[in-house]
Amino acid sequence: MPPDSDQPASHTQCHTCSSLADEESAYQKYGWEENDTHLPAAAGRLKVVRDFYPYSSRKLQLQQCPDCGTYYLYRTDYEYLVNGSEDEEFLTRLKPEDATEYLTRPV
């Protein structure tokens, strides 16, 4: 049952999800650690529900908050460069209907 319009969504009251924005990103470059960014620590508490490319170096995962059940899409990308690889991480909070699409998607 969807929450009443007067009540905030459950993720806004969740200890884990309330510290995550709808979209998070991070960037690291080998040899340039002073410019690195990281996903918030709360992202590490999410649990992998589906791993769409389990043997790939580029990740695409459906993750879920163990506290409130909110779903997130986690993906990574990288570029190998001679002077140091560049790694990126992306975390996106999903609407329930979008999460359903990923839950029913073949692995």
3 is a domain residue:
no
With respect to residue 38, please indicate whether it lies within any of the assigned structural domains.
yes
Q: Indicate if the pLDDT at residue 32 is higher than 90.
A: no
Identify whether 37 is part of a domain: yes
pLDDT at 83 over 90: no
46 found inside a domain: yes
Domain count, the chain: 1
Query: Does 34 have pLDDT greater than 90?
Result: no
pLDDT tens readout for residues 19-31: 999 999 999 888 7
Please state, in angstroms and as integers, the Cα–Cα distance from residue 41 to each residue in 9, 16, 44, 56, following that order.
Answer: 21, 9, 6, 24
Residue 97 host element (H or E): helix 96-104
Residue 4 lies in a domain: no
Q: What percent of the chain has pLDDT over 70?
A: 90
Give residue 27's domain range. 14-104
Q: Given this model, what pLDDT does residue 42 score?
A: 96
Kindly report the pTM of this predicted structure.
0.83
Taking the CB of residue 71, how many other CB atoms lie within 10 A of it?
Answer: 22
